[in-house]
């Protein structure tokens, strides 16, 4: 990824996580700062329907997201399809996906307004839930799609195919299908490898496999994965840590590379990922931090 100076944005949405008062207050300060610079700026909750419609319709050329990594995931779901770049400002915990701390926002935003930034593309996945031939739901995924058990602590059978060919039947709590971005999230906690974020690979990581393949598998971007559930009790599919969707016995989930990508605004040099990795790995997220 080469660093390229880009045109400065002029139409900016400032979106805050509604559950954090400090994020809302900071968003108001940033919006006022942008208006003082003669720019078009709008501040709303990330879940405001009017703001979301405007982003989807291309009304903005930058979205500033205030919160934690969960906020960045939600912003990615919104901004990926219309290709609106995202600048993250951390008012959460770990901040693996976030570029700017809350104490340095003014100088960093000024750099973006001068065009001194570059864009990093992050791969997304497309996950689809089927019951027989009927598709019941579909989602764009930035971190991971997790297929597995529900509240009952019993493993499920996960009949897994790659490119239409049978791979194995995992007997496990779940199977994580992740992007390189997601390799530092749940997949990392389950023992998976860390992939550089600019890669375009699909990562399979089983969680608590019993007498099953217990190694992660890295697939090519062009591969597709089918996971069918065999269970007599509750099973679920979960997208990027959102509320789980119930699965019935013989339901299946298909996952492949999405046509969409998420663009993160970057101000550090392109080798930032490795320089930041050690410091991130030595920190624990704040207990109770969700967004």
Beta strands 118-131 and 252-266, pairing class? antiparallel
Residue with tokens 């860390």, as numbered in its chain: 194
Looking at the chain, how many residues does it have?
291
Tokens of 211: 């007498």
Q: In sequence order, which residues have a C-beta less than 8 Å from that of residue 204 and are 6 or more positions away? A: 160, 175, 176, 177, 178, 216, 217, 218, 219, 225
166 beta partners: 161
Q: What is the C-alpha separation between 177 and 193, in angstroms, rounded?
A: 13
- As annotated, the active-site residues are 69
* Nearest CA among 291, 278, 154, 144 for reference residue 203: 144
**Structure letter (DSSP) for residue 184:** G
């Amino acid at each position: 990824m080469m660093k390229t100076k880009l045109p400065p944005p002029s139409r900016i949405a400032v979106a805050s996580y509604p559950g954090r008062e400090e994020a809302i207050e900071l968003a108001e300060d940033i919006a006022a700062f942008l208006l003082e610079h003669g720019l078009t700026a709008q501040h709303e909750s990330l879940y405001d329907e009017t703001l979301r419609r405007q982003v989807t319709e291309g009304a903005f050329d930058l979205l500033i997201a205030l919160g934690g990594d969960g906020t960045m995931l939600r912003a990615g779901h919104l901004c990926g399809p219309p290709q609106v770049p995202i600048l993250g400002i951390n008012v959460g915990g770990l901040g693996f996906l976030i570029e700017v701390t809350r104490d340095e926002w003014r100088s960093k935003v000024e750099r973006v307004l001068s065009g001194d930034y570059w864009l990093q593309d992050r791969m997304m996945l497309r996950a689809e839930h089927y019951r027989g031939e009927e598709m019941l739901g579909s989602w764009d995924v930035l971190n991971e799609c997790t297929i597995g058990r529900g509240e009952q602590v019993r493993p499920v059978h996960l009949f897994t195919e790659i490119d239409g060919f049978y791979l194995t039947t995992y007997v496990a709590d779940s199977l994580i299908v992740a992007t390189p971005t997601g390799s530092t999230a749940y997949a990392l906690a389950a023992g998976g490898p860390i992939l550089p974020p600019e890669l375009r690979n699909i990562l399979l990581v089983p969680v608590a496999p019993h007498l099953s393949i217990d190694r992660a598998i890295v697939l090519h971007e062009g591969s597709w994965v089918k996971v069918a559930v065999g269970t007599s009790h509750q099973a679920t599919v979960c997208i990027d840590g959102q509320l789980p969707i119930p699965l019935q016995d013989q339901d299946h989930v298909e996952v492949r590379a999405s046509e969409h990508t998420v663009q993160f605004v970057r101000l550090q040099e392109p080798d930032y990922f490795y320089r930041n990795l050690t410091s991130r790995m030595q920190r624990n997220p704040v207990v109770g931090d969700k967004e």
